Chain A
Amino acid sequence: MARFWAKQLANMAITLFAVSFLVFVLNELSPGDVVRKIIGPYATQDQVERVTQQMGLDRPVLVRYFEWMGNALRGDFGQSLIYKRPVAEVLWDRLGNTLLLAGVCFAIIVPFSVFLGVLAGMRERSWIDRSVSVFSSVCASIPEFAMGVFLLAIFVVGLGWLPGASPLRSGDGWPIWTQLVLPAMVVVLYDSGYLIAMIRTSMVEVMRQPFIRTAVLKGMDFKSVVLRHALRNALIAPFTVILLQINYLVAGLVVVEMVFAYPGFGRMMLEAALAKDIAVIEAGTLVAVFVTMMTQIVGDLGYRALDPRIRL
Chain B
Amino acid sequence: MTDVLRLENVSIEYTNRKGTMRIVDDVSFHIAPGEALGLVGESGCGKSTLALAAMRYLPRGMRVSKGRILFDGADLATLDDAALRRIRGNRVAMVYQDPMSSLNPVITIGRQLVEVPLLHGETDARKAHERAVRMLHEVRLPDPERMMTRYPHELSGGQQQRVVIAMALMAEPALLIMDEPTTGLDVTIEAAILDLVRELRRRFGTAILFISHNLGTVARICDKIGVLYAGRLVETGPIRSVFGTPAHPYTNGLLAALPRIEAGRTAAPLRPIAGTLQAADRARTGCAFAPRCSFAVPALCEAAPVPLVPADGAGQLARCARLDVVAAAVRGERHAAHGARLAGDEADAPVLLSVRDLSKRYPVGGGLSGGVKGEVRALTDVTLEARARRTLAIVGESGSGKSTLAKVLSGLTEASAGEARLGDFDLGATGIDKRPQDLKRRIQMVFQNPDSTLNPSHTVEHAVMRPLRLLRGLSRSAAKAEAARLLEKVRLPAEMLRRMPHQLSGGQRQRVALARAFAGDPQLVLADEPVSALDVSVQAAIVNLLADLQAASGIALVLISHDLALVRHMADTVAVMYLGRIVEYGPADAVFAPPWHPYTAALLAAVPRPDPDAPEPSIILAGSMPSPLEEMKGCPFASRCPRRIDGLCDTTPPPVRTPAAGHDIACHLDLDTLPATL
Residues of A within 8 A of B (CB): 3, 7, 209-211, 213-221, 228-229, 232-233, 236, 306-309
A125 closest partner in B (C-beta): B60
Count of inter-chain pairs, beta carbons less than 8 A: 75
Between-chain CB contacts (< 8 Å), 28 pairs:
A210-B98, A213-B57, A213-B102, A214-B94, A214-B96, A214-B103, A214-B104, A215-B104, A216-B88, A217-B88, A218-B89, A218-B115, A218-B116, A218-B119, A218-B167, A219-B88, A219-B89, A219-B116, A220-B85, A220-B115, A220-B119, A221-B85, A228-B115, A229-B107, A233-B105, A233-B106, A236-B106, A309-B151
List chain A residues, Cβ under 8 A from B523. none
Known: A210-B98, A219-B87. A309 touches B103 (CB 8 A): no
Q: Which of A211, A220, A228, A229 has the most CB of B within 10 A?
A: A211
B81 in the interface (beta carbon within 8 A): yes
List chain B residues, Cβ under 8 A from A308. 105-106, 151, 153
List chain A residues, Cβ under 8 A from B115. 215, 218, 220, 228
Contact residues, B101-128 vs A (CB, 8 A): 101-107, 115-116, 119-120
B464-490 CB contact bits vs A (8 Å, 1 = yes)? 000000000000000000000000000
Task: Establish whether residues A211 and B55, one from each chain, have CB atoms under 8 Å apart when the complex forms.
Answer: no
Residue from the list B93, B106, B153 in contact with A306, Cβ < 8 A? B106
Task: Establish whether residues A218 and B105, one from each chain, have CB atoms under 8 Å apart when the complex forms.
Answer: no
The answer for the CA separation of A262 and B631 in the assembled complex, in Å, is 65
A215 closest partner in B (C-beta): B104
B458 in the interface (beta carbon within 8 A): no
B369 in the interface (beta carbon within 8 A): yes
Residue from the list A209, A221, A232 in contact with B81, Cβ < 8 A? A221
Task: Establish whether residues A218 and B88, one from each chain, have CB atoms under 8 Å apart when the complex forms.
Answer: yes
B605-632 CB contact bits vs A (8 Å, 1 = yes)? 0000000000000000000000000000
Least Cβ–Cβ distance between B20 and chain A, in angstroms: 19
B90 in the interface (beta carbon within 8 A): yes
Q: Which of A213, A218, A308, A309 has the most CB of B within 10 A?
A: A218
List chain B residues, Cβ under 8 A from A215. 104, 115
List chain A residues, Cβ under 8 A from B96. 210, 213-214
A213 closest partner in B (C-beta): B57
List chain A residues, Cβ under 8 A from B341. none
List chain B residues, Cβ under 8 A from A236. 106
B369 closest partner in A (C-beta): A7
Least Cβ–Cβ distance between A139 and chain B, in angstroms: 28
Least Cβ–Cβ distance between B461 and chain A, in angstroms: 37
Least Cβ–Cβ distance between A296 and chain B, in angstroms: 14
List chain B residues, Cβ under 8 A from A214. 94, 96, 102-104, 164, 167
List chain B residues, Cβ under 8 A from A216. 57, 88
The answer for the CA separation of A168 and B102 in the assembled complex, in Å, is 54
B115 closest partner in A (C-beta): A218
Least Cβ–Cβ distance between A234 and chain B, in angstroms: 10
Q: Which of A7, A220, A232, A307 has the most CB of B within 10 A?
A: A220
B498 in the interface (beta carbon within 8 A): no
B86 in the interface (beta carbon within 8 A): yes
Least Cβ–Cβ distance between B86 and chain A, in angstroms: 7
Task: Establish whether residues A211 and B103, one from each chain, have CB atoms under 8 Å apart when the complex forms.
Answer: yes
Task: Establish whether residues B103 and A219, one from each chain, have CB atoms under 8 Å apart when the complex forms.
Answer: no
List chain B residues, Cβ under 8 A from A233. 104-106
A211 closest partner in B (C-beta): B104
List chain A residues, Cβ under 8 A from B57. 213, 216-217
List chain B residues, Cβ under 8 A from A229. 104, 107
Least Cβ–Cβ distance between B371 and chain A, in angstroms: 13
Least Cβ–Cβ distance between A136 and chain B, in angstroms: 23
Task: Establish whether residues B101 and A309, one from each chain, have CB atoms under 8 Å apart when the complex forms.
Answer: no
* 11 extra A-B contacts, CB within 8 A, seeds A211-B102, A218-B119: A3-B369, A211-B104, A213-B102, A214-B104, A215-B115, A217-B89, A217-B93, A219-B120, A220-B89, A220-B115, A236-B106
List chain A residues, Cβ under 8 A from B98. 210
List chain A residues, Cβ under 8 A from B86. 219
List chain A residues, Cβ under 8 A from B104. 211, 214-215, 229, 233
Known: A210-B98, A218-B116. A307 touches B106 (CB 8 A): yes
A7 closest partner in B (C-beta): B369
Task: Establish whether residues A210 and B101, one from each chain, have CB atoms under 8 Å apart when the complex forms.
Answer: yes
Least Cβ–Cβ distance between A229 and chain B, in angstroms: 5
B248-283 CB contact bits vs A (8 Å, 1 = yes)? 000000000000000000000000000000000000
Residue from the list A209, A232, A306 in contact with B101, Cβ < 8 A? A209
Least Cβ–Cβ distance between B254 and chain A, in angstroms: 28
The answer for the CA separation of A75 and B589 in the assembled complex, in Å, is 83
List chain A residues, Cβ under 8 A from B120. 219
The answer for the CA separation of A229 and B94 in the assembled complex, in Å, is 18
B91 closest partner in A (C-beta): A219
List chain A residues, Cβ under 8 A from B102. 210-211, 213-214
Least Cβ–Cβ distance between A275 and chain B, in angstroms: 41
Least Cβ–Cβ distance between A268 and chain B, in angstroms: 36
The answer for the CA separation of A9 and B500 in the assembled complex, in Å, is 56
Least Cβ–Cβ distance between B247 and chain A, in angstroms: 35
Least Cβ–Cβ distance between B258 and chain A, in angstroms: 29
Least Cβ–Cβ distance between B167 and chain A, in angstroms: 8
Least Cβ–Cβ distance between A214 and chain B, in angstroms: 5
Contact residues, B275-309 vs A (CB, 8 A): none
B82 closest partner in A (C-beta): A221
- 4 nearest A-B pairs in the assembled complex, by CB-CB distance: A219-B89, A218-B89, A219-B88, A210-B101
The answer for the CA separation of A308 and B120 in the assembled complex, in Å, is 28
The answer for the CA separation of A268 and B409 in the assembled complex, in Å, is 64
Least Cβ–Cβ distance between B552 and chain A, in angstroms: 45
B58-97 CB contact bits vs A (8 Å, 1 = yes)? 0000000000000000000000010001111110011010
List chain A residues, Cβ under 8 A from B103. 211, 214
Residue from the list B81, B88, B93, B105 in contact with A307, Cβ < 8 A? B105
Residue from the list B55, B81, B105, B107 in contact with A217, Cβ < 8 A? B55
Q: Which of B93, B94, B106 has the most CB of A within 10 A?
A: B106
The answer for the CA separation of A209 and B105 in the assembled complex, in Å, is 11
The answer for the CA separation of A66 and B119 in the assembled complex, in Å, is 66
Task: Establish whether residues A211 and B93, one from each chain, have CB atoms under 8 Å apart when the complex forms.
Answer: no
Q: Which of A211, A215, A217, A307 has the most CB of B within 10 A?
A: A217
Q: Which of B98, B103, B105 has the most CB of A within 10 A?
A: B105
List chain A residues, Cβ under 8 A from B107. 228-229, 232
The answer for the CA separation of A54 and B19 in the assembled complex, in Å, is 84
Q: Which of A213, A228, A236 has the most CB of B within 10 A?
A: A213
The answer for the CA separation of A309 and B96 in the assembled complex, in Å, is 22
The answer for the CA separation of A308 and B103 in the assembled complex, in Å, is 13
The answer for the CA separation of A233 and B98 in the assembled complex, in Å, is 19
Least Cβ–Cβ distance between A151 and chain B, in angstroms: 39
The answer for the CA separation of A215 and B88 in the assembled complex, in Å, is 10
List chain B residues, Cβ under 8 A from A209. 101
Task: Establish whether residues B106 and A232, one from each chain, have CB atoms under 8 Å apart when the complex forms.
Answer: yes
The answer for the CA separation of A220 and B118 in the assembled complex, in Å, is 10
List chain B residues, Cβ under 8 A from A7. 369
The answer for the CA separation of A40 and B485 in the assembled complex, in Å, is 87
Known: A217-B94, A229-B107. A211 touches B101 (CB 8 A): yes
Least Cβ–Cβ distance between A302 and chain B, in angstroms: 13
Known: A7-B369, A213-B57. A219 touches B90 (CB 8 A): yes
List chain A residues, Cβ under 8 A from B105. 211, 233, 307-309
List chain A residues, Cβ under 8 A from B88. 216-219
The answer for the CA separation of A213 and B89 in the assembled complex, in Å, is 11
The answer for the CA separation of A233 and B167 in the assembled complex, in Å, is 20
List chain B residues, Cβ under 8 A from A213. 57, 96, 102
B84 closest partner in A (C-beta): A219
List chain B residues, Cβ under 8 A from A3. 369
Least Cβ–Cβ distance between B103 and chain A, in angstroms: 6
The answer for the CA separation of A210 and B96 in the assembled complex, in Å, is 9
Least Cβ–Cβ distance between B146 and chain A, in angstroms: 15
List chain A residues, Cβ under 8 A from B93. 217-218
Least Cβ–Cβ distance between A284 and chain B, in angstroms: 30
The answer for the CA separation of A145 and B151 in the assembled complex, in Å, is 47
